[in-house]
């Protein structure tokens, strides 16, 4: 038993390490943009925070649809059905193209209704500009998510890591040049829009490099085109991914609603919230990478019809990922001022970020556990109950409690909203883990 656990840990580490590094690289793209925007001014930082909240809310819905490919591809690979896995990848590409149009239209529509938010006209105008600049990155972002699902199921994650490194190298000079201008080349200063345009350029570069190895990976011969739309597979991917997308939307929506509520506390608090959220999102990428690897390990075991390995893969993933998140919590507690100063030079913004980072450190373990448990359930194709759990945890516990703490008897302000988020994540983590423990007591059928 001990040897089997050690082997599982080794396999998990082999798969999760490049995925975690890739996620951190992706996060670095966003952090560079935020750091640059923070040097443009407090209004620009607040606008980037609001714009990111809105854009991410919709992009994460599309990403959830792409995550529906994870169990389908992983289980097909586990069963040795590599031709089916490639066909599912192409259904993901078609799905990405189809969903980009309505999501882009929604982003534009929200941009025209920003006057309904309680923020200064300057912040709202900058937010609209930033949203429009981010739109070109949506389609390559979704196609990249489909490619990731295929490559990680095959264990071919090297190109993902190389792609994100190159994207970061490209992003820094492009973001600086477009945001502040570069006179020798006649590049004008686009301000906050420059950071959005740079993200689109970096995402396209990342997709081209990451997906390149797919074109040289052979698949077994067979009848029918792998690239043609397959209504059966598309419907299956949408059924699984649709539930995941709503689930992601529920969780991301709670954070986005908190960001919108933060506008009531002023520009400096909005900036501090964005700084704290950026740092928390960085540590979250570790859990997300381990969760993706756990999803693959669970999917492979189900494809092999190995019930014992399925349970072991999920539980080892949750335990190891939670332990890793402890390190993130300690770092947030140890040097909060230094971390906040990486994103802004405004003393008032740093002061508002520090107490939020204390709350963030407290919910690191819960955030890690719930993310990885969701990955285990996703690998099993279990999507309905995670959706219910997220809805209950964030909207029946987290948001109501956060609002009560922020403006109720305790009047904790911004920190109260964050304590509500912490409570919601803790409830979700416990329920997700219990769900997987119960589900894995018996053999799980392929989706």
Local structure of 305: helix, strand or coil: coil
Q: pLDDT tens digit string along 317-348?
A: 999 988 889 988 999 999 999 999 887 778 88
- Residues sharing a CB contact under 8 Å with residue 212, sequence separation 6 or more, in sequence order: 159
Domain total in the chain? 1
> pLDDT band at 295, cuts 50/70/90?
very high
- Residues sharing a CB contact under 8 Å with residue 359, sequence separation 6 or more, in sequence order: 415, 418, 419, 421, 422
Q: Could you tell me the CA-to-CA distances from 146 to 52, 70, 120, 140, 339 in Å, in that order?
A: 22, 9, 38, 10, 33
User: How high is the mean pLDDT of the chain?
Assistant: 89
Cα dihedral value 81, 86, 89, 91, nearest 10: -90
Counting Cβ atoms within 10 Å, is residue 270 exposed (0-12), middle (13-18) or buried (19+)? buried
Q: pLDDT tens digit string along 211-239?
A: 999 988 877 777 667 888 888 989 999 99
Does the residue 184 lie in any domain? Answer: yes
Does the residue 196 lie in any domain? Answer: yes
Q: Which domain holds residue 274?
A: 2-439
How is residue 395 annotated by DSSP? I
Q: pLDDT tens digit string along 403-446?
A: 999 998 788 889 999 999 999 999 999 999 999 999 999 989 88
Which residue do the tokens 């923020």 mark?
A: 119
Q: Which two structure tokens, joined as six digits, stand for 143? A: 């196609």
Chain center to CA of 164: 15
Say if residue 291's pLDDT is above 90.
Answer: yes
Is the separation of the CB atoms in 153 and 295 below 8 Å?
Answer: no
Local structure of 182: helix, strand or coil: strand
Q: pLDDT tens digit string along 344-383?
A: 778 888 989 999 999 999 888 899 999 999 999 999 999 8
Neighbours of 220 (CB within 10 A): 10
Alpha-carbon gap, residue 392 to 390, rounded angstroms: 5
Does the residue 311 lie in any domain? Answer: yes
Say if residue 116's pLDDT is above 80.
Answer: no
Alpha-carbon gap, residue 196 to 84, rounded angstroms: 37
Q: b/e for 169-206, b at 16 or more Cβ within 10 A? A: ebbbebbbbbbbeeeeeeeeebbbbbbbbbbbbbbbbb
> pLDDT band at 1, cuts 50/70/90?
confident
Q: pLDDT tens digit string along 142-175?
A: 999 999 999 999 989 999 999 999 999 999 899 8
Which residue do the tokens 């990486």 mark?
A: 342
Does the residue 444 lie in any domain? Answer: no
Which residue(s) pair with 182 in the sheet? 187
Q: Taking the CA atoms of the chain, what radius of gyration do you get in angstroms? A: 21
Does the residue 447 lie in any domain? Answer: no
> pLDDT band at 39, cuts 50/70/90?
confident
Is the separation of the CB atoms in 161 and 19 below 8 Å?
Answer: no
Say if residue 242's pLDDT is above 70.
Answer: yes
Query: Backbone dihedral region of 81: left (phi > 0), alpha (psi from -120 to 50 degrees) or beta?
Result: beta
Which residue do the tokens 């964030």 mark?
A: 394
Is the separation of the CB atoms in 17 and 157 below 8 Å?
Answer: no
- Residues sharing a CB contact under 8 Å with residue 419, sequence separation 6 or more, in sequence order: 359, 401, 402, 405, 412
Does the residue 445 lie in any domain? Answer: no
């Amino acid at each position: 038993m001990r040897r089997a656990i050690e082997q599982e840990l080794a396999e998990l580490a082999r798969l999760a390490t490049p995925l975690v590094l890739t996620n951190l690289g992706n996060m670095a793209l966003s952090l560079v943009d935020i750091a640059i925007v923070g040097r443009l001014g407090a209004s620009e930082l607040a606008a980037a925070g609001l714009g990111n909240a809105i854009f991410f809310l919709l992009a994460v819905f599309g990403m959830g649809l792409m995550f529906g490919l994870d169990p389908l591809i992983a289980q097909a690979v586990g069963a040795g059905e590599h031709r089916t896995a490639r066909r599912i990848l192409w259904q993901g590409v078609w799905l990405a193209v189809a969903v980009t149009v309505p999501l882009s239209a929604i982003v534009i529509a929200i941009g025209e209704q920003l006057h309904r938010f309680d923020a200064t006209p300057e912040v709202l105008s900058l937010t609209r500009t930033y949203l429009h600049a981010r739109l070109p990155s949506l389609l390559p972002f979704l196609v990249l998510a489909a490619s990731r699902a295929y490559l990680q199921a095959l264990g071919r994650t090297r190109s993902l890591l190389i792609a994100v490194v190159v994207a970061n190298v490209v992003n820094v000079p492009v973001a600086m040049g477009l945001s502040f201008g570069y006179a020798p080349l006649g590049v004008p200063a686009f301000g906050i829009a420059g950071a959005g345009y740079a993200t689109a350029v970096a995402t396209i570069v990342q997709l081209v490099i990451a997906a390149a190895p797919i074109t040289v990976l052979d698949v077994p011969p067979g009848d029918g085109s792998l690239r043609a739309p397959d209504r059966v597979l598309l419907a299956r991917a949408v059924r699984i991914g649709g539930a995941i997308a709503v689930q992601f939307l529920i969780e991301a929506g709670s954070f986005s609603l908190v960001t919108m509520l933060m506008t009531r506390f002023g520009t400096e608090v909005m900036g501090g919230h964005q700084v704290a959220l950026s740092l928390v999102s960085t540590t979250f990428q570790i859990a997300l990478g381990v969760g993706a690897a756990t999803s693959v390990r669970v999917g492979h075991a189900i494809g092999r019809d190995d019930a014992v390995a399925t349970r072991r893969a999920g539980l080892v993933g949750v335990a190891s990922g939670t332990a890793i998140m402890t390190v993130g919590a300690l770092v947030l507690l140890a040097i909060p001022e230094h971390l906040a100063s990486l994103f802004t030079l405004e003393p008032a913004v740093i002061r508002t970020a520090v107490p939020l980072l204390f709350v963030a450190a407290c919910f690191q373990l819960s955030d890690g556990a719930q993310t990885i448990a969701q990955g285990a359930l996703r690998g099993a194709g279990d999507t309905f109950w995670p959706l219910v759990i997220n809805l209950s945890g964030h909207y029946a516990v987290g948001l109501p409690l956060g609002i009560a703490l922020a403006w109720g008897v305790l009047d904790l302000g911004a920190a109260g909203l964050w304590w509500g988020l912490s409570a919601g994540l803790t409830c979700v983590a416990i329920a997700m883990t219990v769900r997987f423990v119960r589900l894995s007591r018996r053999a799980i059928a392929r989706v």
